Amino acid sequence: MQPDVMAKFKFVLLFAFLLAVLGSANAGTYTLSDGQTITGEPVSFDSSGVILRLSGGGFSPRTPWGKFTQESLKDLQSEAKNPQEADIITPFLEETALEEAQQQQINIKPPPRMERPTGNTGLSALFKSSLGLFLFLVVYGGNLYAAYEIARFKNLPIPLVCGVSAVAPFLAPIVFLMVPGRLDYVDQQSADQLIEEANARAQAQAAAEEPPLEHHGGEEGHAPAHHGEHKPAMHFTLPSTPVSAPAPAQPAVTFQKGEFTFNRRFFETKMPGFFRVVPSEAEKDMVLVVRAMRGEFIARRVSKITQTEIHLETFKDHATAEEIVPFTEIQEVSIQHKDSV
């Protein structure tokens, strides 16, 4: 009986010795970042660290992954029992983190760019394309049209302004726009001729309105006893000083739409005498006749004028009224004698 007990005891001792030998064979030595080493077999992996079975018996406390060196971490990853345990160590490996950063890095490829033209790109290139030539002609035509409008607005010679603007585009219209406008004056000889023609028409009108003569049957060849009363002929006088053409001229002066632009400047320059409260000697017998879309207005004076409309002091049957006429509705403006309307 005793030999059997001794045999079993020896077998247990041998088995324990074999286990110790096998455990020491699987145990590894791992270096910490502070220089210390731990010898044992990893038995438990998680995200917070690893537990080692020490070669001398017992278990080590859970050691964080950050305390192991890179070489020890690689050894622990290689000794992991399954891929899940190996993946726990992967984020703590510096080379793996660098590779992931490189993989996540976005490489932006520059898009293809068109090459810049290397030829002549100056002002002459504008005339080498049909679009550039068309744009130049449009701008040049606008320059000439602006010169034409400036010449009309400033009462300057249209051929002169347009000709200079054609030679010096864009600059010449600006210069002419800054030049003061010119007023048309009638010389003394032309004014006298207009007065004579007006007097001749007035005398002819008076002769045409003369009543027929009365004849007496008893005496033939004798002059009639009574003649019709003659109406005195109208005579016009011209002030000695040069004045604007439309204002003092006694014959009817007409301004048609299309030939003239009706605006505030037109009325202020062509007929300044009608703005006075008390008309002068030249305008006291003259009236301003304005034909518009709404009818004809006969005014003695202009009571007010704005940028868009004119206020006329009209009269009819000894009654006066104020009419407002927009410039856009005016078709014709004339200055006539009050007896001819």
Q: What is the pLDDT of residue 73?
A: 82
Buried (b) or exposed (e) across 293-324, using 16+ Cβ within 10 A? eeeebbbbbbbebeeebbebbbeeeeeeeebe
CB-based contacts of 103, cutoff 8 Å, min separation 6: none
Q: How far is CA 329 from CA 268, 293, 310, 312, 332, in A?
A: 18, 6, 11, 14, 9
Cα–Cα dist 273/3, whole Å: 158
> pLDDT of 222-265, one tens digit each?
444 444 444 444 555 555 555 544 444 467 888 988 888 999 99
Residues of the chain with CATH 2.30.30: 244-340
What are 132's strand-pairing partners? none
- How would DSSP label each residue in 91-122? GG-HHHHHHHHHHH---PPPPP-PPPP-S--S
Q: Which residue has the higher pLDDT, 22 or 192?
A: 192
> pLDDT of 296-338, one tens digit each?
998 888 989 999 999 998 877 777 888 899 999 999 999 988 8
DSSP state of 185: B
Q: What is the CATH number of domain 244-340?
A: 2.30.30
> pLDDT of 80-121, one tens digit each?
788 888 888 888 877 665 666 666 677 788 888 887 766 666
How many beta carbons lie within 10 A of that of residue 248, not counting itself?
25
Cα–Cα dist 295/312, whole Å: 13
Query: E strand or H helix at 273, and its extent?
Result: none
DSSP state of 283: T
